[in-house]
Amino acid sequence: MAQYALVIDLNTCVGCHACATNCKEWNTQAAFGPLSDFDPYGRGPSGVWYNRVFTYETGEFPSTQVFHLPKSCLHCQDAPCVPVCPTGASYKREQDGIVLVNYDDCIGCKLCSWSCPYGCREFDEADKVMKKCTLCIDRIYDETLPPEHRKPACVLTCPARARFFGDIEDPNSEVYKLIQERNGFVLFPDAGTNPANHYLPRQEVRINLEEFEKHILKPDNPLFLEVLRRHRPGMSQKPAEDEYIPEELP
């Protein structure tokens, strides 16, 4: 059974909010729009968004780590938001695993949002129905779009190319491989939701200079020593590591 999903690489996500605003831009005018914004120019503007970007930090200065977390519906494989829906408006599609809301059936009881541990559903007070990420179903199946554009808006726009889309059940897909190779993880693994969207962890590149320290990195550059000799007279020819450091400048 196919399960479409997003895979988001926290190793390149810079938290720019492009996926969030582009999602808003696409979806407000497309099949599942508009996405209302309330009091847009007033004191507490609040709108319906399918995707929001959070920023977290950990550790103490100076070993602080900061990371950004874009979060949209994770299209859980065991989506708890679906069975609680009294009307069947919330459903998970058999063919691709996308979790959708049928606006015509939704009575706006909000129960589905109560049952989502991720806060990925937003109620539209103007339409009085529940809204959420559709995985851009109106793009990915739109045959009038060129094939390379049949991807979620957020994926196409991400300037850090941190977002991938595909079938995580298909071992040949890019997303499947990424999850395997990069140890993809999910949010709230213990919630029993089995989210389809995955995140790829941060990685830190270190440079190993060992070999160089042994062979090449010796502070015996003759030119350096010559300058030392001329400008710090009285110093030995080949100073030990710290010897040449003057206590006080002349």
Binding footprint of ligand SF4 on the chain (CB under 6 A)? 8, 13-19, 23, 26-27, 50-51, 53, 68, 70, 72-76, 79-81, 85, 87, 89-90, 99, 101, 106-112, 116, 118, 120-121, 130, 132-136, 152-154, 158, 160, 162-163, 193, 195
Nearest distance, CB of residue 167 and another protein, angstroms:
19
Which residue lies nearer to ligand SF4 by CB, 176 or 228? 176
- Residue 79 interface partner, choices ligand SF4, another protein, none, CB cut-off 5-8 Å depending on type: ligand SF4
Nearest distance, CB of residue 61 and ligand SF4, angstroms:
24
Give the strand pairing for 51-58 and 65-72: antiparallel
Cis peptide before 34 (omega within 30 of 0): yes
Whole-number Å distance between alpha carbons of 163 and 28: 21
Which residue lies nearer to ligand SF4 by CB, 81 or 228? 81
Whole-number Å distance between alpha carbons of 33 and 28: 4
Nearest distance, CB of residue 116 and ligand SF4, angstroms:
3
Structure tokens at 86: 């009294």
Which residue lies nearer to another protein by CB, 3 or 113? 113
Which residue lies nearer to ligand SF4 by CB, 14 or 145? 14
Residue 26 three-state SS:
helix
Q: Please check whether residue 164 is in contact with residue 151, taking contact to mean a CB–CB distance below 8 angstroms.
A: no
Which residue lies nearer to ligand SF4 by CB, 77 or 228? 77
Nearest distance, CB of residue 151 and another protein, angstroms:
11
Residue 229 backbone class (left: φ over 0; alpha: ψ -120 to 50; beta: rest)? alpha
Nearest distance, CB of residue 165 and another protein, angstroms:
14
Residue with tokens 């270190």: 206
Which residue lies nearer to ligand SF4 by CB, 69 or 235? 69
Q: Please check whether residue 32 is in contact with residue 131, taking contact to mean a CB–CB distance below 8 angstroms.
A: yes
- Residue 238 interface partner, choices another protein, ligand SF4, none, CB cut-off 5-8 Å depending on type: none
Whole-number Å distance between alpha carbons of 5 and 75: 7
Whole-number Å distance between alpha carbons of 186 and 47: 27
Nearest distance, CB of residue 180 and ligand SF4, angstroms:
21
